[in-house]
């Protein structure tokens, strides 16, 4: 790997684990940017939000003399085109899981990679002028087995539903209710890590 400074613009422990899984060394910096979107399409929404997160973090690194790669990401669940975000209550989590029960839904993760080459000293160029950007999304379709009220209540009681898009985590105990997936499993966890490496390896292996 090259000496590029990698920054993950996300507090998600699942995203950290995925980056660690492929052997990347990185730091975590979370932006407090106010999220705004101009589209209702899930794929556009996650791309916009991933870009906003990455850009906000990169702005705080303008004094850094090293090569910098910022990774921003956002994940949503969409059922028949309607976005299901993270639930704000157990009741909302239950409604989401009822909607997804026995059906196929889509998980979209948008990713923005911002690479800014360093020059060994504070850059004298216009901030952002030398930044290379890649923004993309991955979609994975997930099918659930039919869920009973008891099963939903048991899962909600575990608390695992509250910090996840669509009110479930595929990598945890909820895996028992997943009938199948079409696409990248890691994308459902939180990052299409293979795609990210392929898009970024020109900067990571110089």
Supply the residues annotated as catalytic: 74
Q: DSSP readout, 47-85? A: HHHHHHHHHHHHHTTTT--S-EEEEEEEEEEEETTEEE-
Q: Rounded to the nearest 5°, which phi and psi values hold at 132?
A: -100, 130
Q: Rounded to the nearest 5°, which phi and psi values hold at 61?
A: -120, 20
Residue 63 tokens, joined = 């004094």
* Closest listed residue to residue 71, CA positions, set 104, 35, 111, 99: 111
DSSP three-state, residue 114: strand
């Amino acid at each position: 790997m090259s000496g590029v400074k990698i920054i993950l613009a996300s507090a998600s422990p699942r995203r950290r684990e995925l980056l660690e899984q492929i052997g990347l060394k990185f730091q975590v910096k979370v932006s407090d940017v106010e999220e705004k979107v101009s589209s209702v399409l899930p794929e556009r929404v996650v791309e916009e939000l991933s870009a906003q997160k990455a850009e906000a973090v990169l702005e705080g690194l303008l004094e850094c003399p090293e090569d910098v790669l910022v990774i921003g990401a956002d994940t949503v669940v969409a059922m028949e085109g309607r976005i299901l975000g993270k639930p704000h209550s157990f009741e909302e989590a239950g409604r989401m899981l009822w909607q997804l029960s026995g059906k196929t839904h889509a998980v979209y993760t948008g990713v923005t990679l911002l690479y800014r080459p360093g020059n060994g000293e504070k850059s004298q160029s216009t901030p952002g002028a030398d930044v290379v950007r890649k923004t993309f999304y991955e979609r994975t379709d997930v099918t659930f087995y039919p869920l009973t009220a008891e099963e939903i209540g048991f899962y909600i009681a575990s608390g695992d539903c509250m910090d996840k898009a669509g009110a479930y985590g595929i990598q945890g105990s909820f895996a028992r209710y997943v009938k199948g997936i079409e696409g990248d499993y890691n994308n459902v966890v939180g990052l299409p890590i293979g795609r990210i490496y392929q898009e970024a390896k020109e900067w990571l292996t110089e």
